[in-house]
Structure 1
């Protein structure tokens, strides 16, 4: 989704007599490039004439904490200006201490609380907030917001009528501007990336703000009231109240846990912040890899239309570099093989859907490595924590990232026989591996995972011998015929 955001002209707030600047955001169901947008000059903002504002907008308060909040005063502020407006307070558990909406105001009858938590006493339809919204628009209001004029909401509605498929936002304070963010959600690559941008187009905004959108757009979201809000809103559409020191610390802990839950829910493994820092939410050395057993060379994520999780690729690169260093130290003659050599030719890296690294080596050199020698009898963990073992599916070896995380590098022993590099037994998981030994006389090298790695000479001929003509330009999944989609 794309959001266009424009800055409207300043206008005078009647009671406060301060300048308020607000922005508008426009969503597009598009994943294309940046689209330039020049907003029209607006000299005056007219009041919508179709209906009274209270019949057009429902106010929703979602993001607040039960242990400390300002919801009562926030609601009262809006009721003072719009006595007949509908207000829905959405929460996961009943706030305690209880919210105190003044009973002296007759508008309290328009305030409704919706508890999202399942209850035997409450039917599903009554705890689904979207079903309670009868107006054309919804206005999300952050906790500790004050309003003292009708003009800002009228202006937001007026702007949204010009771009009904969008979101219009306004800062709650005239002293702070909102930041414009690009949000890149890539389900195939398991990633979510934020970046600060300048200009008229953005996917999300940072800073405390009101957000106005059509109710129909809200109904299209997978989980429109998912916390933390509005972070989850912008992920799905791409995608301060002064507290005590203890409350601020507690709020930070709660937000971090909610973000982790959000990323886990959408299976996002790598998050790149607008500051450039990277956060990982995938597998580590102390956890199992992100996918289960591999059948017919096809990891389960390929059947989901995804590529290898970025944490697995990162761990696989670390394992490959360790193996290269170990083989170099032992004086073993080795070369990059199969799909790994194909990835090196294409990008100098592992193919984005590959789950292992393949290395061929001279069988006569096997005993030069203490770890290969020990692994012949039983698995062994080396001094850096990598697990060396003899594979059960053929006469070859594997080096795993750790004893727990079984992302691995394959080591295939070859020897020359009648001018052909061959092996003692078929590798049940890898076919078409034999090749003329003149590809290794002399050896060449190629860039791979950030370093030079030995390789066969005449790499193109070598790869087309194994994979067929055009393999470099048009690589395929290991067993594409098994996929349930093109």
Structure 2
């Protein structure tokens, strides 16, 4: 059947009308991306996001930017209290869902090609946002952010490298033109489509959230020499400063949880930690089939967990040595020592072998052997394992990161034990490997180890075990499949 031109035109009109009816039926709050107005409108939307309910300059900042030919939006979880008198034309959009009204999708209210994230206490400069936009558009293809300082203090340029597998963000001093982040109060300008393509476009603190997400995508950053002025403001009250610091720390911790960052290495060498501690549970649950959940997610052991394992291993080794208990690095822990001098980056516990006849020499081991978990003077918890005849020393009662202590005994020159968990490397070995034991660097201290680590490991793991790393259970997940 031949379709005439008129029939084709009529069919196209019908399809277009159906599409328009669908968009109207869905409504602006629920319209799918294909029904939205394309973000092709020239201009820059000013978005005010980083401010506090108390002691803010929101009205002044909004008034200043409302004087420009640019739409101004204020985004907040809830309406500021006390109320802020916003100028005419400035819209307040509440982000926190409320049961009796449709959710607000901020991206539906931004129709310009570019958006500027402006911090509280900033004053507009005619033409500066446009110069930022032009610098962004004229930059190299990977340039996705333009940044301008606020006030008289210049921005500090930083390089930023995010290591998702290690749960870490690393800052280092940057050079002009090679910034991955900046330190200081700044206006951020980017393409609207880029902002709302981010998983956390409005997370606070805004600059940190944007910089980390940009670094993960390889986005370039352009720093402008011109600055936005900051007005003189009354000094913040001590109580207001305290509230701002507490809220800022809480937001930063939530942001790092959302972004999967548990450790920040700062440009001055300092560190911020956001993972587990002695007072919290560990970062991962029960391990099944020797494959922790984080490996399946393409990540390695969280750095806070590695730190806790190192601390626990050092403590346990010290306690055993002080009590005269003969111990040695076992299994994957010896493998890590031989390969790296440290815990394997994806390991989730530490294994030590001990002579069974020495258990009674250590008061904490003896108490655990009697069947009662006991907390030592430094808060480490010693107990007999439920799975068999061996012992565990936990980082704390709350945090169950642990060192396993495997009691071996000699039988006709061969070291054996009573509990075997079916791991391929869990085998007997000649006692001659322990006569004598030798010191070996491990996890920041010197531990005792078998006298021929290579032969010992190849007996347990097979030839080339040191040179050929592999995940604990290659049948579930192999190294290199990330």
Q: Which of residues 107, 129, 137 is equivalent to 1:153?
A: 129
| Native 8 Å contact 1:54 1:86 kept in 2 | no
Q: Deviations over 1:228-263 (max 9, x none)?
A: 222211122116563432333322222111111112
Change (3 A) 1:58 1:383: closer
| Native 8 Å contact 1:92 1:116 kept in 2 | yes
CA distance in 2, matches of 1:233, 1:283: 25
SS of equivalent to 1:475: coil
Change (3 A) 1:382 1:66: closer
SS of equivalent to 1:180: strand
- The aligned residue for residue 341 of structure 1 is 334
Report deviation, 1:350.
Answer: 0.7
| Native 8 Å contact 2:424 2:460 kept in 1 | no
CA distance in 1, matches of 2:365, 2:266: 41
Change (3 A) 1:387 1:77: closer
The two structures have a TM-score, normalised by structure 2, of 0.81
Q: Deviations over 1:27-84 (max 9, x none)?
A: xxxxxxxxxxxxxxxxxxxxxxxxxx9942111111122223222222322333x3x4
Task: Say whether 1:455 aligns with 2:455.
Answer: no
Task: Say whether 1:244 aligns with 2:244.
Answer: no
**Aligned residues, how many?**
422
Report deviation, 1:466.
Answer: 0.6
Report deviation, 1:116.
Answer: 0.6
| Native 8 Å contact 1:264 1:281 kept in 2 | yes
- The aligned residue for residue 277 of structure 1 is 270
CA distance in 2, matches of 1:79, 1:156: 18
SS of equivalent to 2:112: coil
| Native 8 Å contact 1:224 1:233 kept in 2 | yes
- The aligned residue for residue 12 of structure 1 is none
- The aligned residue for residue 55 of structure 2 is 68
| Native 8 Å contact 1:55 1:85 kept in 2 | no
Residue correspondence of structure 1 range 309-320 to structure 2 within 5 A = 309-320=302-313
| Native 8 Å contact 1:396 1:427 kept in 2 | no
- The aligned residue for residue 405 of structure 1 is 399
Residue correspondence of structure 1 range 218-297 to structure 2 within 5 A = 218-238=195-215, 242=233, 243-245=235-237, 246-297=239-290
Report deviation, 1:453.
Answer: 1.7
- The aligned residue for residue 50 of structure 1 is none
- The aligned residue for residue 177 of structure 1 is 154
Change (3 A) 1:398 1:429: farther
- The aligned residue for residue 92 of structure 1 is 77
Unaligned runs of 5+ in 2: 1-39, 217-229
CA distance in 2, matches of 1:98, 1:441: 77
CA distance in 2, matches of 1:424, 1:113: 69
Report deviation, 1:191.
Answer: 2.3
CA distance in 2, matches of 1:58, 1:403: 51
| Native 8 Å contact 2:161 2:215 kept in 1 | yes
| Native 8 Å contact 2:425 2:461 kept in 1 | no
CA distance in 2, matches of 1:157, 1:301: 40
Residue correspondence of structure 1 range 394-433 to structure 2 within 5 A = 394-428=388-422, 431-433=425-427
Report deviation, 1:438.
Answer: 2.2
| Native 8 Å contact 2:41 2:113 kept in 1 | no
CA distance in 2, matches of 1:131, 1:425: 62
Deviation larger for 263-272 or 309-318 = 263-272
CA distance in 1, matches of 2:422, 2:393: 18
Unaligned runs of 5+ in 1: 1-52, 103-107
Change (3 A) 1:251 1:388: closer
Deviation larger for 135-144 or 375-384 = 375-384
Change (3 A) 1:426 1:139: closer
**Whose relative contact order is higher, 1 or 2, with alpha carbons under 8 Å and at least 6 apart?**
1
Q: Which of residues 116, 132, 138 is equivalent to 2:109?
A: 132
Task: Say whether 1:168 aligns with 2:113.
Answer: no
CA distance in 2, matches of 1:368, 1:172: 65
Residue correspondence of structure 1 range 427-446 to structure 2 within 5 A = 427-428=421-422, 431-446=425-440
Root-mean-square deviation (CA, aligned residues, Å) is: 2.3
- The aligned residue for residue 77 of structure 1 is 64
